């Protein structure tokens, strides 16, 4: 297992900077017993200028609030105080390229009634930028994403991730890198912690919103497509059309943009390096690190 902290690590806990090794939380928390908490996964990067920049901090903290409110957890923080605290946690841990994990959790409560308060912490750990040259072998999961009539699927709620853990462990046990999950109707939905796109004849396709987490990276990919005039369509995606595709990729804050080598053992038709998807991958990495694309790299179409 990765090591996330040591004796020196500082986290932000309900307004205070404390040592991770000394931080305490309640063993009677409703969050621990029932998976009733919400969280974010955010990245900071050392940018071209040498500054530390949290990518789309406002969008992530907006989603944290929406996640909390949609499952009836009180939420009393402003984006400004959380973003300030995040930069300060990064600074105190001497980190620039980092993964940032805020968690909103509940007090001691063994019943299901609504709480009058919530708590929060922000943890950070080192994570280097990933340049995505590895390609993934993906399989269709035997698990479906949670039915939106059973869960608030747009909330990044801890309990939903039991589904992700089961799907990921199944894929790895079968020798694949990761799983693609379907929605309750059998259409392609998303990965265990990332959204997906596929490419066919120079056009991109991605599952519509409704049965997936509305990814901030997915939105960024749509922005990149618009900026570079790459056609893209949000639609119901079948597994068969992914098997016929030229390329496919996952996108997420941690995964960034990462290409697929094969889907259910069927290799993709195009060499990854020659796809629009690869250009989007480079454009994404340029955005997060605030790097100017070379004119030749910029000629995406």
* Catalytic residue annotation: 156
Burial class (CB in 10 A: 0-12, 13-18, 19+), 60: buried
Query: How many angstroms separate the first and last alpha carbons of the chain?
Result: 41
Contact between 206 and ligand PMP per CB under 6 A? no
CB of 301 to ligand PMP, least distance (A): 24
Contact between 102 and ligand PMP per CB under 6 A? no
Over its C-alpha atoms, the chain yields an Rg (Å, rounded) of 20
Position among 253, 275, 277, 281 found at the interface with ligand PMP (CB under 6 A): 253
3-state secondary structure of 13: strand
Contact between 41 and ligand PMP per CB under 6 A? yes
Distances (CA, A) of 47 to 54, 90, 192, 203, 245: 10, 14, 28, 30, 34
Contact between 182 and ligand PMP per CB under 6 A? no
Contact between 207 and ligand PMP per CB under 6 A? no
Q: How many residues bind ligand PMP (CB under 6 A)?
A: 12
Do 250 and 195 touch, CB atoms closer than 8 A? yes
The C-alpha torsion from 165 through 168 and 169 to 174, rounded to 10°, is 160
Q: Which is nearer to ligand PMP, 190 or 246 (CB)?
A: 190
Distances (CA, A) of 79 to 22, 85, 93, 229, 288: 26, 10, 21, 32, 20
Position among 190, 199, 246, 256 found at the interface with ligand PMP (CB under 6 A): 190
Q: Which is nearer to ligand PMP, 30 or 206 (CB)?
A: 206
Contact between 213 and ligand PMP per CB under 6 A? yes
Contact between 252 and ligand PMP per CB under 6 A? yes
Contact between 215 and ligand PMP per CB under 6 A? yes
Q: Which residues bind ligand PMP (CB under 6 A)?
A: 41, 190, 193-195, 213, 215-218, 252-253
């Amino acid at each position: 297992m990765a090591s996330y902290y040591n004796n020196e690590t500082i986290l932000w806990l309900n307004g205070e900077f404390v040592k991770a090794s000394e931080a305490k939380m309640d063993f009677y928390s409703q969050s621990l017993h029932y998976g009733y908490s919400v969280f974010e996964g955010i990245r900071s990067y050392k940018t071209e200028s040498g500054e530390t920049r949290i990518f789309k901090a406002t969008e992530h903290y907006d989603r944290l609030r929406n996640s909390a409110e949609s499952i009836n957890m009180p939420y009393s923080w402003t984006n400004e105080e959380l973003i300030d605290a995040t930069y300060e946690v990064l600074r105190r841990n001497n980190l620039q390229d980092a993964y940032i994990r805020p968690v909103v959790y509940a007090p001691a409560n063994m019943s299901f009634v609504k709480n009058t308060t919530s708590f929060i912490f922000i943890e950070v750990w080192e994570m280097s930028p990933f340049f995505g040259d590895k390609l993934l072998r993906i399989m269709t999961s035997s698990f479906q994403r949670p039915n939106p009539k059973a869960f608030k699927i747009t909330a990044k709620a801890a309990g939903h991730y039991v589904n992700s853990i089961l799907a990921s462990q199944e894929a790895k046990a079968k020798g694949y890198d990761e799983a693609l999950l379907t929605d309750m109707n059998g259409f392609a939905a998303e990965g265990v912690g990332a959204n997906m796109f596929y490419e066919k004849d120079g056009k991109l396709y991605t599952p519509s919103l409704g049965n997936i987490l509305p990814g901030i990276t997915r939105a960024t990919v749509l922005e990149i497509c618009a900026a570079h005039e790459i056609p893209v369509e949000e639609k119901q995606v079948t597994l068969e059309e992914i098997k016929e595709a030229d390329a496919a990729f996952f996108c997420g804050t941690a995964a960034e943009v990462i290409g697929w080598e094969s889907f259910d053992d069927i290799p993709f038709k195009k060499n990854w390096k020659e796809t629009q998807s690869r250009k989007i991958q480079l454009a994404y990495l340029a955005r997060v690190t605030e790097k100017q694309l070379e004119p030749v790299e910029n000629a995406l179409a």
